[in-house]
Amino acid sequence: MMTFLGRAGFLLLIGFAALSDASSAAEPQKAGYALALHGGAGDNAAKLSPEERQGREATLRKGLEIGIEILERGGASLDAVEQVIRHLEDDPHFNAGRGAVFNADGGHELDASIMDGRDKSCGAVAGVRMVKNPISLARLVMTETRHVLLAGPGADRFAKEMNVEQVEQDYFTTPFQLERFQRKAKPPAKEQDKHMGTVGCVALDRRGNLAAGTSTGGVTNKKFGRVGDSPIVGAGTYADNNTCAVSCTGVGEYFIRHAIAHDVHARMAYLDASLEGAVRHVLHETLEPNTGGLIAVDKSGRIVLDFNTVGMSRAAADSTGRYEVQLGGK
């Protein structure tokens, strides 16, 4: 290059590069955002019908777009998480809201939680039977009560008080879940290739705030009154601005026993682990194979989507242009 430009030209070029560097450094940098969502671990994409595949993919894509739209314009991660999950709850392809699995009584009992990484405020509902969007009720528990978790008829009554949209049990029923129930699926001990379909979302907004949320109908044929990890803060959901935001999916009993979502945070906080390292440890060393997966984003916007099952429906996007939607395996 020296020969071609000559020494003067070369110095000019260096000077120009330095100048343009200085001018871009002077421009205020727009902070980035990051977003990830899941539609449940355990599924084997090869077993999905083309319609089911397309339907799931389209819903995940739309979920990403809802979140991106909020985060792109500087909206709050908490709003992105709630709105994305509402969309997934309304879609019949996933086991949350409409499309929820049946319990052993032939009914639907829904669980959800949400957490704000700014101050660890959080809200959750368990075993609700009449709430169209449990994630929004969980947020109201966080903002409108001094409690963290409301369960059963009390949670449904709170929904009424809050004028949250209520529906009959039939609203949640889909032919897909009815067929599974009628086959009398046993409560899964270790899921291999079932379409579990719990939904979750984690987000980092341009202000550096992290949030996480999870919503589910639980596991097919679960015992009436059974509560999984999804509404248990620290097990299925966790967010702390100093570390990361996490939403889990899988066999809830294992995630509760090991406080998986909190453990990802704790490994980063106390062991100085990276997000990747913390997630790898909990999914592949703490948990047994075929028990579930999780999505997580850290305070710098790194995203991890990982699972120890056959597959996990997942999607991610960020302000650098990352955009991906995947069903099934790695």
Q: Contacting ligand ASP (CB under 6 A), which of 131, 141, 219, 287?
A: 219
- Pick the stretch among 117-125, 145-153, 222-230, 257-265 that binds ligand ASP (CB under 6 A): 222-230
DSSP 116: E
With binding defined as CB under 6 A, does residue 250 bind ligand ASP?
A: yes
With binding defined as CB under 6 A, does residue 308 bind ligand ASP?
A: no
198 catalytic, yes or no?
Answer: yes
- Going by DSSP bridges, is the β-strand pair 121-128/244-250 parallel, antiparallel, or unpaired? unpaired
Q: How far is the CB of 287 from ligand ASP (least distance, A)?
A: 12
With binding defined as CB under 6 A, does residue 231 bind ligand ASP?
A: no
The angle, 0 to 180 degrees and rounded to 10, between the axes of the packed helices 50-72 and 77-90 is 160
Q: Which of 198, 243, 249, 309 is catalytic?
A: 198
DSSP state letters, 138-195: HHHHHHHSS-SEEEHHHHHHHHHHTT--B--GGGG--HHHHHHHHTTPPPPSS-SS--
Residue whose CB is less far from ligand ASP, 91 or 229:
229
Q: Contacting ligand ASP (CB under 6 A), which of 209, 216, 237, 291?
A: 216
- Going by DSSP bridges, is the β-strand pair 121-128/149-151 parallel, antiparallel, or unpaired? parallel
Separation between Cα atoms, residue 140 and residue 122, nearest integer Å: 10
With binding defined as CB under 6 A, does residue 228 bind ligand ASP?
A: yes
Residues 132-171 that bind ligand ASP (CB under 6 A): none
Residue whose CB is less far from ligand ASP, 213 or 228:
228
The interface mask with ligand ASP, positions 46-85, x = CB under 6 A, is: ----------------------------------------
Q: Residue count at the site for ligand ASP (CB under 6 A)?
A: 13
With binding defined as CB under 6 A, does residue 99 bind ligand ASP?
A: no
Separation between Cα atoms, residue 37 and residue 317, nearest integer Å: 9
Separation between Cα atoms, residue 80 and residue 35, nearest integer Å: 9
- Pick the stretch among 149-157, 227-235, 279-287, 315-323 that binds ligand ASP (CB under 6 A): 227-235
Residues 182-201 that bind ligand ASP (CB under 6 A): 196, 198
Residue whose CB is less far from ligand ASP, 40 or 301:
40
Listed in sequence order, the residues at least 6 apart from 30 whose beta carbon sits closer than 8 Å to its beta carbon are 206, 319
Pick the closest to residue 319 from 64, 10, 55 (CA basis): 64
Query: From the centroid of its chain, how far is CA 140?
Result: 19
With binding defined as CB under 6 A, does residue 117 bind ligand ASP?
A: no
Amino acid at 272: D
Catalytic residues: 198
